[in-house]
Chain A
Amino acid sequence: MALNRKIAYINLTTGKIEIKPIPLEVRKRFLGGRGLDAYLLYNHTPKNANPLGPKNVLMVSGGILTATCASATARTHVMAKSPLTNLLGSCNMGGFFAPELAWAGFHHLVIKGKAKKPVYLWIHNGEIEIRDAAHIWGKTTTETQWAIREELDDDDIKSLVIGQAGENLVRYANVMTGIKNSGGRTGMGAVMGSKNLKAIAARGTMDIKLAHPMEALEYNKRFIDQITSAKVNQTQGTLGTPFIWGATNSWGGVRTRNFQYNQCEYADDIEPERIDEICTETMGEHHMTGCFACQVHCRAKYKIPTGPYAGRYDEGPEYTSQGAFGGEPDCKSAETVLTGNHLVNQWGVDNLEIGSLISWAMELYELGILTSKETDGLDLRFGNDEALLEMVRRICFRDGWLGDVLADGGIPASKKIGKNSFDYLIQVKGMSNLHSDERATPGLALNIATASRGSDHLRSRPAIDLYHLPVEILRKIYSNPVPYEGPLSSEHTEYIGKAWQVFWQENCYMAVDCLGICKYHTTFLGATLPNFEDWPKVLYLNTGLEMTPLEIWEVAERCNNIERLFNLREGLSREDLEKGDMLNHRYFDEPCLRGAPDVIGAKIDRKKFKKMIDEFYEHHGWDKNGVPTAETLKRLGLDQEPSHMV
């Protein structure tokens, strides 16, 4: 049974390991994955813990459906207090780790303390061992994985690892698995590094019994047909996520030169078709790969075509790398994007954060706020590809004054750089925004302002807002499972009804993260994909757990509120530019200069934005300060937290 997967508490200071079942009551309240991790974080991490100290607690998990016969249950979730934001830290990745962890008998790991010297965890068929990692410390993410396989003599081992960036406590270092599957936000790799934990290796041959296997198999076939028939997934399966960058750039939704422009011009060399051409030339016609049991196969395989790293194999690039190493620093070369992508994958660092911070530093350099003294002679102007890639190296290895300063994240860096550098930093809650520009899309702006882990598109983005769907269609999607009779608008430039859409998406993505499935299999980029109505049956056939769409929605609400409680406990306040639900002033003051006619001149209206946040809080049952009311907490059964059920 999926439900008999265990939770393990591992104390790296004492070496003590405790293995326990996960009570059914806990499953019904939090399902698993990110939701249960959030509950564990709130219950096990003491208030004001140093994120890089032994008191921070690291959660690693699969979802409740992981490795069952549901579609695309590959996701691994990692959570702790973030060393980047000092608030909620959370990242989520595809690949093959979480299924292997489940076959090895576990769904959740709770890792406490700090090892005296580098170690890794070896998890095998119900057993957990802490092993010496001296010989793999200092290795890249892939070198580490292959070394563990060699040492334990098993090619089927799947490992979750950190690269040099995590060891060097770069505050936005990744946790990674496979060639490029990245838990890449909020610095969970640095938390692993701070615990001297280089890797978690898993291998299992334990059955996951399905409640109704043959029906689950048939239902999965239907599910897969629905998922692969969506045009957006067919495009993902051909071009990968780079197609999103191309589409968004065409109307002016892509940040360029940090935040100076909203469209990257003359960028043919990094357009999706060009990237696809390179993948075809270097890896052949069939160059797409996928995560466990997923038929979308959105990840491209490539070899770097030219330059100092020519011939190196890697996967991706995701559209985030086109932004981080292409659009944002205004380096419009495929070689640079593909090389940058390779370097961050090898050293294990968040491409969104590093790209965004370097282009911020480039703007400061051009403004004279940073000079060649701080850059140690590096000519850090926009469009300097070599300086960009050199800066990536300096940050990952904390080399030079600026490399070391940027490795600590935007807000601490702005304090060391001084002057008005903070004004140019495109961040929320201390985490940089991805490469997208939300000035023309208030719904998306609300999403990044309120996302629980900082400026982020994967917590609540109403991406289908960009499709201008008729209101009747929007109503059909957004009125389930909770009826919504308020206004909705097909216009992405509008403020009407967006608060509800963001609220709905936030619950939808939370549910997906608790189930352990991928967002490309729900209402994220495709309006016809499965959501609340479809999940109860998948859950029942695979695990035997009977829940209604409304009950799953309530789990999502409960988990979102736990995340909110954690953030509030650690200092979130609504209008705080460093720790609040607030955007940089440039969103309100600087209009878009490029793009489609309804995008040029667009900026966020401060008053309407404020009203939108009020509405968003109301939908949640939060007060004007964004604090859950006593009534809301009671309704969701959170009035006794921390309740220490597990």
Chain B
Amino acid sequence: MEKVLKIDYQKCTGCRLCELVCSVSHHGVSNPTRSRIKVVKWESEGLYVPVTCQQCEDAPCISVCPVKATSRNEDTGYVMIDYEACIGCRSCVTVCPFGARNYNTVDKAILKCDLCGGDPQCARFCEVKAVDYIDADSLSTNKKKEAAKRLSLAQKVATAIIQEEG
């Protein structure tokens, strides 16, 4: 079953553990510059939004790559980089609508989420589930439930009013 990263920024506490574990698991070092996920912050408002690759269906980074270094893996469905082919032109960084393509200034190389081969560490470590790894078809389940709850509450209130008036 297809799984996707789900980001619920309202739950994010801004701790950046996701950035730490991403750089440790990929490079064996602590360095957020090497992380594939970044928590963008508006500190004066208390707003934190984790940003990473969305594995777009119609991915601009695939179309823009002049040497076909970015492609979709047929088995997993993930958008992947072939580092042997990549020439480091940063075109993908320019076109990504999420800014999720990082140009890592330490190695002078492109960084992109590879979902850790199916066990994304950012989601594994995020206790509050601001970053979660879930079945694609359940992406909107919780939202549906929330909406349904609101509707049913409205229904209950309406019934109560009718009964009172009746």
Contact = CB atoms under 8 A, between A and B. Distances in A.
Question: Interface centre among B14, B44, B45, by most A CB within 10 Å?
Answer: B14
B30 interface: yes
A228 interface: yes
A209 interface: yes
Given A210-B28, A297-B128, A69 B15 contact: no
A142 interface: yes
A213 interface: yes
Interface stretch (A193-201, A284-292, A456-464, A570-578): A284-292
A630 B120 CA distance: 56
Contacts of B34: 207
B116 to A, nearest CB: 11
Nearest to A211: B28
Contacts of A213: 24-25, 28-29
Contacts of A96: 16
Interface in B93-123: 105-106, 121
Contacts of A290: 13-15
Contacts of B31: 103, 205-208
A293 B15 contact: yes
A221 to B, nearest CB: 7
Nearest to B41: A155
B32 interface: yes
Contacts of A228: 127
Size band of the interface chain B makes with A: 20 to 34
B20 A293 contact: yes
A284 B10 contact: yes
Interface residues of A, number: 41
A39 B24 CA distance: 32
Contacts of A155: 41
Contact of A313 (B20, B32, B45, B106): B45
B43 interface: yes
A217 B121 contact: yes
Nearest to B32: A103
Contacts of B33: 103, 205
A228 B41 CA distance: 24
A207 B46 contact: no
Interface in B11-29: 11-17, 20-21, 24-25, 27-29
A142 B44 contact: yes
B124 interface: yes
A146 B44 contact: yes
A221 B46 contact: no
A179 B127 contact: no
A141 B58 CA distance: 45
A295 interface: yes
A530 B156 CA distance: 49
Interface string B40-56: 01011110100000000
A295 B15 contact: yes
Contacts of A294: 15, 17
A142 B10 CA distance: 23
Interface in A166-213: 178-179, 205-210, 213
Given A288-B13, A293-B20, A205 B28 contact: no
B66 to A, nearest CB: 28
Nearest to B18: A293
Question: Interface centre among B32, B41, B45, B105, by most A CB within 10 Å?
Answer: B32
A68 interface: yes
A313 B44 contact: yes
B83 interface: no
Contacts of A284: 10
Contacts of B21: 69, 217, 220
What are the 5 A-B residue pairs with the smallest beta carbon separation, nearest first?
A: A213-B28, A301-B46, A207-B29, A205-B33, A297-B13
13 contacts: A67-B20, A68-B30, A69-B24, A103-B33, A142-B44, A207-B31, A210-B30, A214-B28, A220-B21, A224-B127, A284-B10, A285-B10, A288-B13
Interface of B: 10-17, 20-21, 24-25, 27-34, 41, 43-46, 48, 105-106, 121, 124-125, 127-128
